[in-house]
Every structure is written in C-alpha cells, then in structure tokens.
Structure 1
Amino acid sequence: MDRRTFLRGTAVGTGGLVLGGSLWASVAHAGPAQPGSGPYGALSAPDANGVRLPAGFTSRVVARSGRFVAGTTHLWHGAPDGGACFRDGAGWIYVSNSELPLVGGVSALRFAADGSIGGAYSILGGSNLNCAGGATPWGTWLSCEEIAFGRVWETDPYGRTGAVKRDAMGRFKHEAAAADPDRRVIYLTEDEPDGCFYRFTPDTWGDLARGRLDVLCAPAAPVTGPVTWRTVPRPGDWLTGTRNQVAEARRFKGGEGAHHRDGRVWFTTKGDNRVWVYDAASSVLDIAYDDDLVPAGSAPLTGVDNITGRPNGDLFVAEDGGDMQICLITPDDTVAPFLQVTGHDGSEITGPAFSPDGRRLYFSSQRGTSDSPAAGVTFEVTGAFRDAA
C-alpha cells in the first residue's frame, strides 16, 4: 500500500489522521480540513467574465496584460502574480508582481473610495521573475524573485521612493513573505522541490537592511510536531547561496504562498498539495490541509499556491492549475470552492488580496484564456464577505 492510499484510508476511516504536536487541539481545530459545504453556498453559472461565484457576488476586470489600464497611460504588465492591498486615504492600492523573465517588476492600481480606478503606475522594474511576496506592517511591498540566488525587493506601493534590494533576507528562489509584527520577524518560502522555510529577524523592526536569517529544522519524521531554528551563516552570499548552508534544514516540496494571523503562519507547498501551519508560541508545525487526507477523488483544492485570509479566520487558497479555483478553508476545517474562472485552463490563479475594508477581493489569471503571459487578466470580486466565522 503506497503512502497516498494509506493516508486517505486513515483519514476516511477515523475522521482525520492523528498528527504529532497536537496543535489542532490547542487552537480549536479538529484536524486537517475536509470537503464540505462552504459558508457562501454553491457556485453559480459563469458570469460575463467567465467567473463562477456564489449568489450575491459580482466580478469585473480591472486590468489586462499589454493594455492600458482604463483612464491611464500605464500598460499593465504580463504574467501578473503575487499581490496585496494598501490603504490610500479613503481609497486603496493593489500591487501586482510580474513573473516575466529579465524585466519582472511590480505595478500598482490606485482605487478611489467608490472603487473607481484613479491611477496606475510602476513601482519596480528591471528585476527578474517576480513571483509572490508580502506586505509589511509599515506599508511596503516585498516583491520576491523566483530565480536561483534571487532577491527580495522592498518597494513603495505609493510610488514615492525607489525599490531597495534586501540581500540580508537571503539569495535563493524566493516565493512569498509573511510578517509577524508581534514577534517582529518575517517568514519566507522557497520554491524548490526541496525548498526550505526561513525566518528573518531585522536588527531594527522596520529596517530590513540587516538582521538574522534562520532556517526551520526538524527531524524528517514525524511530519509534524516541535521544530527548531538554525541561523544561516552567510545569507547574502551569492556564490554559495542560502539554501545549503545548514545541513539540518527541513525540506518542503515546493514552497508557495504564506499568510500570518494571530501568531500563526500558514504556508503552502505545491509538490504535495498541502497547507501547513506553524504556531510560533509553541514552535510546532502542523498540517491544515492535505489532499492525501480526504477521500479519493473528492479533493476540492489541488495545485495549492498563493494564500490570503480574513480577520475572522477564513483562508483563501488559489490554485495553480487544478480547477482554476480559489478555495476557502474555514476555522472549523471545511474546505470548499469560493470561485472558479472558466475558459482559462492553461493558466493559474495568482495574487489574491482583500481591499482594506474587506469588501473586495483582487486576483489574476496569470496567462488568461490563451495560456500566454501576455494574456493575463486581473479581476475584482465584490460581495458580502462574512466578518464572523
């Protein structure tokens, strides 16, 4: 019996695999999420934009790759990827990475209080394969290069200051970043088949020029439980890179998105379709979702990629391929589709992020309907998102 068959049999037969660390009991979770009915109900037929949504939600296209953003002279970038929203007076700004080779970069969309587009502009250019990233508590966007010896670029969503390279955060195939303002650290994922999970502690909170980079270490088995951290001695060394300097580093199958809330960080790995959760208070690693741990053929979430969340505890996980869905994982461990983009079968969903008021969700189809980085589409979904679980 192979591992996938064993794990699925255990999950179905016992109502959930018993995992080391007992984190779920400590945070009122029953175990890795299982398929069920989502809080918003079934998805409707595709709308005029090809998006299937629950009743009461609507979509609009706010930008298309290679075209001028409406009312501006800014050409929206190709291959839109990771994104985030920032307050801007009574309005907000959505930033979006470009996962194009050699030119990369980040663009920004400025929205007025009524949701109308008030401007668009570039905040980074001349980088390389900018994939995901993360927002900082002091209002900057960390744009991560997904290349060997890649960098983190700290950018200004408001376009007032130039982007700055943050080599102290490591030279590796960066994917996502998630800031923990209470412990004053930033977690980083690595998109390699045997990638690591990192923690950066700045010497001064709010200044990422210098600090300590640690890598998560743990025994290969069990899968979950208590972890330790070891310091990477030379994180900015481009000759040796970052990822192989600590032999005890725990390896993950393709690190993707990351999201922090209330002392815990969730991060995804595409090689095994998992959503992990690390509890910083107890230094315990556990699994929030694993498609191995649901009945065969019933996994609603595959190709796990970018992840974001809401203050009520709902997680929104985008699919790279799969059914081109954003799936919702609730605090009571139910996983269900929230939306689906149809006709974009060769693409992936990227950059999910909520406006500061929580009423609008932004995301992109990176390659659109023609499976080309020049055909990316950036969407907005509006509706009555729930404030309480």
Structure 2
Amino acid sequence: MERRSFLRAVTAGTGAVAVTGGLWHAAATPAAAAAADSPYGPLRAPDAHGLALPEGFTGRVVARSTRPVGGITWHGAPDGGACFADGDGWIYVSNSELPLIGGASAIRFGPDGSVTAARRILTGTNLNCAGGATPWHTWLSCEETYRGRVYETDPYGNRSASSYAAMGRFKHEAAACDTDRRVVYLTEDEDDGCFYRFTPAAWGAWGALSEGRLDVLCDAGGGAVAWREVPDPDAPWPWEQTRTQVDEALHFDGGEGCYYSPQAGVCYFTTKGDNRVWAYDAGAHTLAVVYDADEPLGTVDNITGRAGGDLYVAEDGGNMEINIITPTGTVAPVVRVDGHPESEITGPAFSPDGSRLYFSSQRGESGFVAGTDGVTYEIHGPFRA
C-alpha cells in the first residue's frame, strides 16, 4: 500500500488521526498542528550572532568549523547532536557530515557553561548525519551513505567506537531508544526509505547493541501497522537492499530526525520529502501524522523534545528556524538564524538541566558544501520543562 493510501486508510471513517499516547491530549487531523502565537512570544531582531530569539533568551557561538575549541579543531559540517551529564558539567556531542573523514566530536562544559575541554570520539567514517543517545550514556552515530553503519561512541573518551552490522546496512539517519520496550527506532534517508525497530539481545551497557533483531514497520491491513523481521540486515553488496526485503514494508519520503518520548510512549520522526512529523504509538501500534503543512515549519529535519510534551523541530534550510510544536498543536519559531541562506539547522539538544539548547548551522554564512563554515550555537533561557 502506498503511503498516502495508507494515511487515508488510517483516517477513514473518523476524519481524524488519533494519537493515543499521553503527550497529545486529543485526536489530531493531519494538519491540526498549525501556526499560532509562541508560548515564548515573538522573535526579536537578530543579535550580533544573527540569532533572532524571544525576549529573555540569549545566544552565543561555542564552536566554528576549522577553528580551535577546547584543544581540538572543530569538525566541518556539524550535524546530529546530544547532551550528556558529566559531573558538575555536561557534554555536547556533534556528528560531522563530511565524506570519508566524518566522525564525531564532543565539547565539555563546566558548571558555569564555559568550555573546559573537547575531544574527537569517532574518526574515519563517512557522512555521519544524525544519531541518538542511549540510556547508558553513549552516542549512536549514523552514517548517511549507501550501506552505512551505526557506530556506538563514548562521549567521555574512555572507549574506542564500535560498529554494529546487526542494526542494518543502509542510509542511516537518526536513532531513538525506547527504554520501555528496550528497542531502538531508526530512520532511513531515502525517498522510499523505511522506519525500523532494532531489538538487541541485551540492554543497558556498552556493546549491548552488537546482536539482535531488525524489524521494519509494515502495513497490516485496515489501517493497522505491524513489525516484520528483515531477513538479512547485513546482506552483502550487491544483494537486496534492506528496505526492499519485506514486501509489506511502509515507505517514507526521506526519513530524518527521530525522538522517543517516554512520557507518551510515542516515537516521533520526520520526513523531509513531504514535510511531515509522524507519531508511532508504541503501545497502541498506531501511526499518525501530527504535522502536515508548509508553514510555518518547512523542510523538517532533526527533532528533539521535552518531558512536558513540547517538540522542537529544526529546518533543513527553509527560514533556518527551530520551531516548537506544543501538545495543543501550536507551531511557532523559537530561534531563527539570519544570514545563512544556503545552510541547514542541525543537532538540537538540551543540556541536562534543560536551560540551554545547542544546535548548529551546518554550512554557515558561505553555504559551502564542504561544511568548513559550520557554526555551533548555545541558546540560554527559560525553556518550558
């Protein structure tokens, strides 16, 4: 069944797509999340860094590609990211979406927000786009390339990275850990990509994801969805690709960001080809669309969220904004980067205390595709819990 036909089947007879998780408090039509006044108020004029922010928020630059930070040279094309607690400070990890030399780096911040150190935690990989944090405080760095791998990396620099073929060989984008069901959801950046679930043989420690079962989300008929096992996640080239191994698999137009809300039991993911934010309710086994519009949020990409239910979605180009989507359906910009018309916003992640939001402009003012002009920012302010 084609994607749009499937969506019609989901909504048939009801006129609505129901998200049954606790985060979204009512049924929502595909376009129910729409532009409205931001809970933070309107954006002010851009500051000295080109950041347009609401009243009460401040921004700064923490790193620039090819320039020193914390004892290393910050990587080009900064992409997916996450934050990790570290004693009285915290760490922000960022991927590098460069070919052949991609990898990932980590910046350590002290309790006052000052940069105290930085390190490379992954080197020699290819087009590391997004990824996801694990509950045991490691970073899954995903290669967005043909037959790409997932690498487990150590933000604290104590272990060398490991790759896991069991998680599939495809154009990986993002990963999100479901701590309730002990699975990892994975997106695929193809115009006919799939949405996957990896169930490891073990859970809770470094290397636990080295073995397990990879499933793909499928049409189960009558608007229902179900998981089916991928027969050979590590099929050797040029054998059948991962996304074509199961006939019933649902296909999505350019899978991007992925975020699991433990409060709602819902995994949210974005598809850039049709500019949608999807919600997979893991308990009810239902799939819904919670944003399906062109404005104010365009070219959806990386996504993160807060315990109170707010989602934060970054734009791949568009107006160069991060937009909030609230549980009541409000969509509004929280930050805009001015003067970077050929770039994209990547890697949104909150500090452990929730007061700081980190992200990057991947190609900066120049828009140079080699990513040597990337800028990594920090926004500090009264974010909602």
Q: Secondary structure at the match of 1:374?
A: coil
Could you tell me which residue of structure 2 aligns to residue 39 of structure 1? 39
Could you tell me which residue of structure 1 aligns to residue 10 of structure 2? none
Could you tell me which residue of structure 1 aligns to residue 11 of structure 2? none
Could you tell me which residue of structure 2 aligns to residue 10 of structure 1? none
Structure 2 Cα separation of the partners of residues 26 and 184 of structure 1: 20
User: Contact 2:347–2:358 at 8 Å: present in 1 too?
Assistant: yes
Structure 2 Cα separation of the partners of residues 260 and 110 of structure 1: 25
Aligned residues: 362
Q: Secondary structure at the match of 2:158?
A: coil
Equivalent residue letter for 2:308: N
Could you tell me which residue of structure 2 aligns to residue 190 of structure 1? 188
Q: Secondary structure at the match of 2:74?
A: coil
Q: For residues 238-253 of structure 1, what are the structure 2 equivalents within 5 Å?
A: 238-239=236-237, 240=239, 241-253=241-253
C-alpha distance after superposition, 1:54-101 (max 9, x if no partner): 0000000000000001xx330000000000000000100000000000
Structure 1 Cα separation of the partners of residues 19 and 334 of structure 2: 29
C-alpha displacement of 1:29: 2.7
User: Contact 1:197–1:215 at 8 Å: present in 2 too?
Assistant: yes
What's the TM-score once normalised by structure 2's chain length?
0.91
Structure 1 Cα separation of the partners of residues 20 and 308 of structure 2: 19
Could you tell me which residue of structure 1 aligns to residue 25 of structure 2? 28
Could you tell me which residue of structure 1 aligns to residue 381 of structure 2? 383
Which of 337, 354, 363 is the aligned partner of 1:341? Answer: 337
Q: Secondary structure at the match of 1:195?
A: coil
Q: For residues 142-157 of structure 1, what are the structure 2 equivalents within 5 Å?
A: 142-157=140-155
Q: Does 2:346 align with 1:350?
A: yes
Q: For residues 84-233 of structure 1, what are the structure 2 equivalents within 5 Å?
A: 84-206=82-204, 207-218=208-219, 225-233=223-231
Could you tell me which residue of structure 1 aligns to residue 299 of structure 2? 303
What's the TM-score once normalised by structure 1's chain length?
0.90
Q: Secondary structure at the match of 2:166?
A: helix
Q: Relative to structure 1, is the Cα distance of residues 210 and 342 closer, same or farther in structure 2, using a 3 angstrom cutoff?
A: same
Identical aligned residues as a percent: 63
Q: Does 2:283 align with 1:284?
A: no
Q: For residues 250-329 of structure 1, what are the structure 2 equivalents within 5 Å?
A: 250-262=250-262, 263-291=265-293, 299-329=295-325
C-alpha displacement of 1:285: 0.2
Structure 2 Cα separation of the partners of residues 118 and 24 of structure 1: 40
Could you tell me which residue of structure 2 aligns to residue 13 of structure 1? none
Q: Relative to structure 1, is the Cα distance of residues 43 and 377 closer, same or farther in structure 2, using a 3 angstrom cutoff?
A: same
Q: Relative to structure 1, is the Cα distance of residues 341 and 313 closer, same or farther in structure 2, using a 3 angstrom cutoff?
A: same
C-alpha distance after superposition, 1:7-33 (max 9, x if no partner): 9xxxxxxxxx92355648994134131
Equivalent residue letter for 1:371: G
C-alpha displacement of 1:140: 0.4
Q: Does 2:15 align with 1:18?
A: yes
Structure 2 Cα separation of the partners of residues 66 and 25 of structure 1: 44
Equivalent residue letter for 1:100: L
Gapped regions of structure 1 (runs ≥ 5): 8-16, 293-298
C-alpha displacement of 1:245: 1.0
User: Contact 1:123–1:157 at 8 Å: present in 2 too?
Assistant: yes
C-alpha displacement of 1:194: 0.5
Q: Secondary structure at the match of 1:37?
A: coil
Structure 2 Cα separation of the partners of residues 386 and 146 of structure 1: 32
Q: Relative to structure 1, is the Cα distance of residues 86 and 304 closer, same or farther in structure 2, using a 3 angstrom cutoff?
A: same
Structure 2 Cα separation of the partners of residues 35 and 269 of structure 1: 19
C-alpha distance after superposition, 1:32-66 (max 9, x if no partner): 31110110000000000000000000000000000
The more displaced of 258-267 and 347-356 is: 258-267
Structure 1 Cα separation of the partners of residues 258 and 18 of structure 2: 21
CA RMSD of aligned residues (A): 1.8
C-alpha displacement of 1:238: 3.2
C-alpha distance after superposition, 1:155-183 (max 9, x if no partner): 00001000000110000000000000110
